[in-house]
Amino acid sequence: MARIDLDHIRHSYLPNPQKETDFALKEVHHTFQEGGAYALLGPSGCGKTTLLNIISGLLHPSHGKLLFNGHDVTNLSTQERNIAQVFQFPVIYDTMTVYDNLAFPLRNRGVPEADVDRKVRETLDMIDLADWAKRKARGLTADQKQKISLGRGLVRSDVNAILFDEPLTVIDPHMKWVLRSQLKQLHRRFGYTMVYVTHDQTEALTFADQVVVMYDGGIVQIGTPAELFERPKHTFVGYFIGSPGMNVLPVEVDGKTAKLGSLAIVLPGTPEKTGDSMELGIRPEYVRLGRVGIGVSISKVEDVGRHKVVRAKLEGREIAAIVGEDEEIPAEPKLRFEPAGINVYADSWRVEMRA
Amino acid sequence: MERTWNNKAWFLVLPVLVLVAFSAVIPLMTVVDYSVQDTFGNNQFFWAGTEWFEELLSSSRFWQAMGRNLVFSAIILAIEVPLGILIALNMPKKGWGVPVCLVLMALPLLIPWNVVGTIWQVFGRNDIGLFGYYLNKLGFDYNYVQDPLDAWFTVILMDVWHWTSLVVLLCYAGLVSIPDAFYQAAKIDGASRWAVFRYIQLPKMQRVLLIAVLLRFMDSFMIYTEPFVVTGGGPGNSTTFLSIDLVKLALGQFDLGPAAAMSLVYFLIILLLSWVFYTVMTNYDAER
């Protein structure tokens, strides 16, 4: 296992990057602690996979250094870095049996056959393919093939880190859940350093201790799932995490009050900084619907099972609120913002508030 | 439900049937007709029964030509298939090199066969041919007109030059269809260059390779034009393949009966081998 330091890493796919926009990955300076479970979360094309491939050595960064346990590995090949990586789409060796597929990474490294057998059998049990061991891999379903890919990632116990590049995309929902909990268990048992790329927030939040949210080639926030939920550093994090995402309303800030059109909302404190555009962010979970507060008109109620999502209009703006499954929606509904859930953003970045 | 029988559709295939009849079936039947008769001048025909077939199958001339054909096919397959794979593996996968390589590879395939023959006929000559002249200059005693071994060497070299491209192009098509993720995964798994070839590239090329082998086998088994132009089947009979022998028999000696019998046997051999290949390939598909 290793601690991974990304030292001012930037990457561009262009031969001569000039502008900031030429970079697929803007400067990243971060440390993945030894034995940590991290998720890289972000929309497609935000640079997650680029970052992952730089760690595994499939890509050489244009700028910056990469260190494993303090040793510079920037110029080492993938093989020398001793990394396991699982890809989005199943990669299997068609002509081999399931067993040989799993044994492949071990045999390539000259592991004694007795150890190979022990490790492969362990892994087969883990991915629940023990009965298929002797079968040719090409006849399997996409699910099973991806499990083999996962298995090949997990079969070596001496790796510096295990990287996952949206590994569960092709797996069906039930199996996804099972495999994710297995990965989590493995992490607890063996303490692998794991980096998991995904665009699915549930996956990221359930898998990782620390979630790295990426947007447009840069890291916007690194934090625990709770931090990302309560204190999104950037409005993007607010939108991207949560279902539905955070309500972001353009406001004018004057001391402790935020003006939204003709409405005045009392803030829990005075923002330390103001910018050209100020916004108030509040998660639907903190928007209370009742008989006191600001009058709104409800446009839609979505019952999602555990709770109801109420879509309403406030000063001409869409706003979402979450209401308990058996709570009643009053005839003349009024909104109230819970002070604990209010965040203020100056030019899309969160600002602290003084009491 | 009652089925309505409507045979009008047959009229739609009629033109094709007529065409095939005139271009294939009728000529073939004419050959069958010749093969059981003896001909003399004035268009006199006499019934000969299976005489020509018996004569053919017991003639050493036929079996020798057949042997030469099989040896020739075996040699060119043994050279062109590995060489084709090797070249395909080393062709660029992207950038300006791709079109350049593809055009270079396609060039020999675009040249008419008799021109290929003429090119090598001149190329290999000792007096004015670059190849023949310089081989002799370098101290090799090379003369394809007199030495059977040199004649074989020339014919094989010509075929390799002419047809390896086909194997290259087919293999290349198989190779470019492999997603990058496979190579990346192989790197992660620590696979050697050989393991990448053996477990990723070769399995992906397997299907196109089968087709390449089939095409090259059929073509080389029927080869006529190029050796005919270069060596004319000589020196002696050393490069007389079945097709060349057949033309000698039919057009040179005008022995229509024996030539017809030989055509039929030749045809049946190719049909049989095609069937074998077809069965092997379909079995292979079913196994997948």
Residue B193 lies in a domain: yes
Q: What is the pLDDT of residues A125-167, one digit of tens each?
A: 888 888 888 888 888 888 888 888 888 888 888 888 889 988 8
Same domain, yes or no: A97 and A188: yes
| Separation between Cα atoms, residue A6 and residue A17, nearest integer Å | 20
pLDDT of residue A189: 82
Question: What confidence score (pLDDT) does residue B278 get?
Answer: 76
Please count the structural domains in chain B: 1
Q: What is the average per-residue pLDDT within A184-197?
A: 85
Residue B21 lies in a domain: no
What average pLDDT does the structure give for chain B? Answer: 85
Q: How far apart are CA B116 and CA B112, in angstroms?
A: 6
What domain range is B176 assigned to?
Answer: 61-241+271-287
Each residue's pLDDT tens digit, B175-187: 998 888 899 889 8
Are residues A58 and B187, on separate chains, in Cβ contact within 8 Å? Answer: yes
Residue B286: band (very low, low, confident or very high) from pLDDT cuts 50, 70, 90: low
- pLDDT score at B82: 94
Residue A202 forms part of a structural domain: yes
Question: Which residues are registered as beta bridge partners of A165?
Answer: A197
Q: What is the pLDDT of residues A291-325, one digit of tens each?
A: 888 888 888 888 888 888 889 888 888 889 888 88
Select from A58, A96, A153 the Cβ nearest to the Cβ of B184: A58
With cut-offs at 50, 70 and 90, classify the pLDDT of residue B164.
very high
User: Are A12 and A160 in a shared domain?
Assistant: yes
Question: Cβ separation of B190 and A87 shorter than 8 Å?
Answer: no
Chain A residues near residue B199 by CB distance under 8 angstroms: 93-96, 104
Pair (A251, A345) in one structural domain: yes
Contact between A84 and B188 using a beta-carbon 8 Å cutoff: yes
Whether the CB of A349 is below 8 Å from some CB of chain B: the reply is no
B37 belongs to a structural domain: no
Chain A, nearest residue to B189 by Cα: A105
Amino acid type, B191 = A
Task: Inform me whether the pLDDT recorded for B81 exceeds 90.
Answer: yes
Is residue A258 assigned to a domain? yes
Task: Find the CB nearest A87 among B185, B191, B288.
Answer: B185
Please identify which residue in the block is written with the tokens 């004018």.
A252
Same domain, A42 and A180: yes
Mean pLDDT over each residue of chain A, to the nearest integer: 86
Pairing mode, strands A194-198 and A37-41: parallel
pLDDT digits (tens, 9 = 90+) for B99-140: 999 999 999 999 888 888 888 888 888 888 888 888 888 888
Domain span including residue A107: 4-230
Say if residue B1's pLDDT is above 60: no
Residue B45 lies in a domain: no
Closest A-chain CA to B197: A93
Least confident of A344-348, B88-92, B223-227: B223-227
pLDDT score at B146: 83
Residue B145 sits in a domain whose CATH number is 1.10.3720.10
Q: Is residue B96 part of a domain?
A: yes
Residues forming a β-bridge with A194: A37, A162
Question: So what's the pLDDT on residue B138?
Answer: 87
Q: Domain check: are A262 and A343 in the same one?
A: yes
Residue B285 — pLDDT band, cuts 50, 70, 90?
Answer: low
Q: Give pLDDT, residue A42.
A: 86
Reading the block at residue B61, the tokens are 């001339």
Instruction: With a cut of 70, say whether residue B20 has pLDDT above it.
Output: yes
Same domain, A221 and A250: no
Residue A68 CB burial class (10 angstroms; 0-12, 13-18, ≥19): buried
CATH of the domain at A272: 2.40.50.140
Binding-face residues of B in 167-186 toward A, CB within 8 A: 179, 181-182, 184-185
Provide the pLDDT for residue B71: 92
**Is the pLDDT score of A234 beyond 60?**
yes
Closest approach of B199 to chain A, Cα-based (Å)? 6
Give the three-state DSSP class for A200: coil
At residue B287, the pLDDT reads 60
- Chain B residues lying within 8 Å of A138, measured CB to CB: 288
DSSP letter for each residue of A136-190: BGGGS-HHHHHHHHHHHHHS-SS-S-EEEESTTTTS-HHHHHHHHHHHHHHHHHH
| A66 and A174 part of one domain | yes
For residues A297 and A183, state if they share a domain. no
Q: Do A283 and A199 fall into the same domain?
A: no
From A230, A256, A284, the end of a domain falls on A230
Judged against a pLDDT cut of 60, whether residue B58 lies above it is answered with yes
Highest average pLDDT, of A209-223, A255-269, B71-85, B227-241, comes from: B71-85
Is B99 part of a structural domain of the chain? Answer: yes
CA B183 – CA B200 distance, rounded (Å): 8
Which has more confidence, B252 or A335? A335
CB-CB contact of A30 with A214 (8 Å): no
Is residue A65 included in any domain, yes or no? Answer: yes
| Chain A CA closest to residue B186 | A105
Instruction: Establish how many alpha carbons lie within 13 A of residue A322's alpha carbon, considering only the half-sphere containing its beta carbon.
Output: 16
In a domain, A141, yes or no: yes
Quick one: pLDDT at residue A32? 87
CB B102 within 8 A of CB B185: no
pLDDT at A54 exceeding the cut of 60: yes
In a domain, A239, yes or no: no
- Who among A53, A79, A138 is closest to B288 (CB)? A138
The answer as to whether A337 is a domain residue is: yes
Cα(B10)–Cα(B5) distance, rounded to whole angstroms? 12
Domain boundary (A230, A255, A274) is at A230
The reply to whether B135 falls in a domain is yes
Is the Cβ pair B187, A83 closer than 8 Å? no
Size of interface A-B (CB pairs under 8 A): 53
A219 and A350 part of one domain: no
- Put simply, the answer to whether A104 touches B200 (Cβ < 8 Å) is no
The residue-averaged pLDDT of A57-73 equals 87
Q: What is the pLDDT of residue B75?
A: 94
Q: pLDDT digits over B186-195, tens only?
A: 988 888 899 8
Q: What is the pLDDT of residue B288?
A: 53
- DSSP code, position A280: E
Nearest CA in chain A to B195: A108
A290 lies in a domain?
yes
Q: Which of A180, A203, A230 lies at the terminal end of a domain, its last residue?
A: A230
Residues of B in contact with A96 (CB under 8 A): 199
Task: Indicate if A291 and A255 belong to the same structural domain.
Answer: yes
Q: Is the pLDDT score of A207 beyond 80?
A: yes
